[in-house]
Structure 1
């Protein structure tokens, strides 16, 4: 029972990271129709910036805040410089651009900071006792910060005029424009918010694995699984899907086989999607012909 509790909490902590990455992807996709494949890589570079600032003497919390700001600004720059000039409806072109950007950023990280893994300090140290099990405070912090971030995003989208504008653009950019919504402003905010969430996710994940240029590649893969499982057009689905993937991943590693954890996780995801192709929280999309 103790091992099960630790496995579940660890899985939820990992799933919270997958949910943050997935939520960033869904926010950008729903607001701009662009799937940003460079999201995790850009967030990784922001985390390297945090590590450099911390090594230079800056407090870790301040370095983490600086990383989130750096990631957000980089998202805005990429959107304005690389994505906006493509124009509306250039989905494949935007896809290729973000994939190419991901490779460029990975190469830059490797050249500037090196390919070897770098240890990233925990935001908090220590353990707490739950029942007869000891759980790291870092895992509980990951859950708490992810919950707060997701709650704030939920409040933004459901309780504020800006959130209403973003939801209007997500439903129909043409209709939103008729209503006077500035789609470009919404897109900028979406890219900033998406990168901020992704950077927070990397900051919470890096202490477990260390930093390498490609450390977030498997996380990005699982985040995609989470958003498809939860529903590509659902922000709640992105979070819940990420949590489910995280828990299944840890359960498979602990009770099935670490070598077949991905096989187990994605087999379950595929079975769910065969029954409900739009995902657990996704809505079916009907096209008039």
Structure 2
């Protein structure tokens, strides 16, 4: 029972990371129709910048805030120069562009900081005894921070003018323009918010995974599994899907085989999509032809 509790908490902590990244992906996609494959690589740039500042003597918390600022600035600059000039509806082109941005970001990281693995400091140390099990404090902090961040995003979209504007743009950019809502301004806010959530996930994930240029590649694909499982356009689904993927991933690694963890997760995701193509919380859409 104690072992199961450890596996469950660890899975939820991993799932919280996937959920944060998935939430960032969905927010950007809903506001701009862009599937941002560069999200993880851009967040990794922020991680390396944070580690450099931390090594220079800046407190870790301030370094993490600096990572969000750096990633957001780089991401918005990339959007303005590469994504925004594309014609409306160029979804495949935008997808390829973000893949290219991802490769460029990884190359820049390797050039500036090299490819050698590094340690990223934990925000908290030690463990907490729960029911006879020693739960890592970092895992509990990950759950708490992710829960607060997700609650703030829910408040933003449910209770604020900016959130209402972002929902309006997600429904129809043309209608939002008629109502006087600047779609480009909303798109920038969506990118900044999505990138910020990705960096937050990265800061929570890196202490246990170490730091290399591709450290967030696996979490990114598991976040994609989570948003397809939950529903590509559903923010609630991105969170639930990410948590589900995290728990299934850890259960498979602990009770089946670590080599089959991704096989188990993606097989389950495919099975759900075969039964419900729009995901657990997505809405089926119909087009007149």
| TM-score, with structure 1 as normaliser | 0.99
Partner of 1:179: 179
Partner of 1:83: 83
CA distance, structure 2, for counterparts of residue 71 and residue 261 of structure 1? 30
**1:36-75 matches, cutoff 5 A:** 36-75=36-75
CA distance, structure 1, for counterparts of residue 75 and residue 103 of structure 2? 16
Spell out, residue by residue over 1:72-130, the C-alpha distance to the aligned partner (whole angstroms, 9 max, x if none). 22222122121111132111111111101100111111111111110001011110011
Partner of 2:256: 256
CA distance, structure 1, for counterparts of residue 218 and residue 98 of structure 2? 17
Partner of 1:197: 197
Structure 2 residue matching 1:86: 3-state secondary structure: coil
**1:126-205 matches, cutoff 5 A:** 126-205=126-205
CA distance, structure 2, for counterparts of residue 90 and residue 268 of structure 1? 31
Structure 2 residue matching 1:134: 3-state secondary structure: strand
Question: Where does the alignment leave 5 or more consecutive residues of structure 1 unmatched?
Answer: none
CA distance, structure 2, for counterparts of residue 96 and residue 261 of structure 1? 28
**1:14-53 matches, cutoff 5 A:** 14-53=14-53
Q: Which runs of 4+ in 1 moved over 4 A?
A: none
Matched pairs, number: 289
| 1:267, distance to aligned residue in structure 2 (A) | 1.1
CA distance, structure 2, for counterparts of residue 82 and residue 142 of structure 1? 33
CA distance, structure 2, for counterparts of residue 98 and residue 213 of structure 1? 16
Matched, 1:210 2:173: no
Partner of 1:241: 241
Structure 1 residue matching 2:85: 3-state secondary structure: helix
Structure 1 residue matching 2:237: 3-state secondary structure: helix
Partner of 1:285: 285
CA distance, structure 1, for counterparts of residue 157 and residue 24 of structure 2? 13
Spell out, residue by residue over 1:109-167, the C-alpha distance to the aligned partner (whole angstroms, 9 max, x if none). 11111111100010111100111001011001101111111111111111111111100
What is the CA RMSD across the aligned residues, in angstroms? 0.8
Question: Where does the alignment leave 5 or more consecutive residues of structure 2 unmatched?
Answer: none
Spell out, residue by residue over 1:43-78, the C-alpha distance to the aligned partner (whole angstroms, 9 max, x if none). 011010000000001111110111111112222212
CA distance, structure 1, for counterparts of residue 238 and residue 258 of structure 2? 25
CA distance, structure 1, for counterparts of residue 124 and residue 49 of structure 2? 19
Partner of 1:98: 98
Partner of 1:265: 265
CA distance, structure 1, for counterparts of residue 151 and residue 12 of structure 2? 16
Structure 2 residue matching 1:85: 3-state secondary structure: coil
* Greater mean deviation of Cα atoms: 34-43 or 67-76: 67-76
